[in-house]
Amino acid sequence: MMKDIATPVRTKNILEKYGFSFKKSLGQNFLIDTNILDRICDFAELDENMGAIEIGPGIGALTEQLAKRAKKVVAFEIDQRLLPILADTLSPYEHVKIIHSDVLKADVKNMMNEEFQGIEAMVVANLPYYVTTPILMKLLTEDLPIRGIVCMLQKEVADRIAAKPGTKEYGSLSIAIQYYTEAETVMIVPKTVFIPQPNVDSAVIRLMKRKEPAAKVEHEDFFFEVVRASFAQRRKTLMNNLMNNVPALKKDKVAVEAILAEIGIDPKRRGETLSIEEFARLSDSLYTIAHK
């Protein structure tokens, strides 16, 4: 029986066999702790009737554990140098498919229609730190038939994603992700279980897709514009941020003040104190002024 990939010795042997060197630009850090990979798979609640989508499989450490549990695994790998390594390390698993592609440019929905006909899927990944947010936003805004996402990312980003109103971590990223999902940090991962060792600790976050968004919003694009504007300068009041960062409102300060009064939101509050529901009310009410 072959030893798991995610052991220090086997990882080192694989890297040496292929003369692989890490590319800093791709944020490559490989996990060398099978217990942590097991727990990530537990949080994803995969079973033999489900599919798993992975992003950045590296040398296949997590892919291997997903393959032991899921009916089918499809992984997107951007680094061509890893393809022969993956073909070798994952050769025992016929139900694993590696796609050589940048997931940000890939048609994930089409891939799911082809590869996961009628079976539910989870995204499970150790995400490259430098593109975490764009990847998550792509997966959530493209209306993919996924149950949710369990991913490892920088602890600081996980804190921001799962943050509650009134905390210093809470911001437009928290709202963007919590609008689509129920978000919780399920595990902290020390930097010592990776090679090469990153500078910061990581966290595993679980994002389970909501059946309906967290708040009913008439105009989603404008809602997100109002949210981003409200956090543009954190020390400024809501009123200041709205007037300075939503171009369509600049011409009508009096009307904006009137609307805030009408919906019971104090213009002196800061963006970080507003719940998603309050932002929904605010953006729906401001839309008429911004688009008249």
On whether residue 57 sits in a domain, the answer given is yes
- Find out whether 139 is annotated in a ligand binding site: no
Same domain, 163 and 244: no
Same domain, 17 and 38: yes
Q: What angle do CA 190, 174, 181 make, to 5 degrees?
A: 95
- pLDDT recorded at residue 2: 66
- Find out whether 31 is annotated in a ligand binding site: yes
On whether residue 34 sits in a domain, the answer given is yes
Cα 268 to Cα 285: distance, rounded to the nearest angstrom: 18
Cα 93 to Cα 97: distance, rounded to the nearest angstrom: 9
- pLDDT recorded at residue 278: 97
| Listed residues 209, 235, 255: the one ending a domain | 209
Same domain, 72 and 43: yes
In this structure, what CATH number is given to the domain that contains residue 279?
Answer: 1.10.8.100
Number of domains in the chain: 2
CB 56 within 8 A of CB 158: no
- How far is Cα of residue 25 from the mean position of the Cα atoms in its chain? 19
Same domain, 235 and 202: no
Same domain, 231 and 204: no
Q: What angle do CA 257, 260, 264 make, to 5 degrees?
A: 140
On whether residue 214 sits in a domain, the answer given is no
Residue 6 binned pLDDT confidence (cut-offs 50, 70, 90): very high
Average pLDDT over residues 213-226: 96
On whether residue 215 sits in a domain, the answer given is no
pLDDT one-digit tens code per residue, 222-257: 999 999 999 999 899 999 999 999 988 877 889 999
Q: Domain containing 258: what range?
A: 220-290
Same domain, 47 and 144: yes
- Provide the whole-model pTM: 0.93
Backbone angle region of 55, left / alpha / beta, with phi > 0 → left and psi within -120 to 50 → alpha: beta
Q: How far is CA 162 from CA 116, 165, 179, 183, 184, in A?
A: 29, 10, 11, 5, 6
- Find out whether 113 is annotated in a ligand binding site: no
- How far is Cα of residue 82 from the mean position of the Cα atoms in its chain? 23
The answer, yes or no, to whether residue 1 has pLDDT greater than 60, is no
- Find out whether 94 is annotated in a ligand binding site: no
Same domain, 205 and 224: no
3-class secondary structure, 274: coil
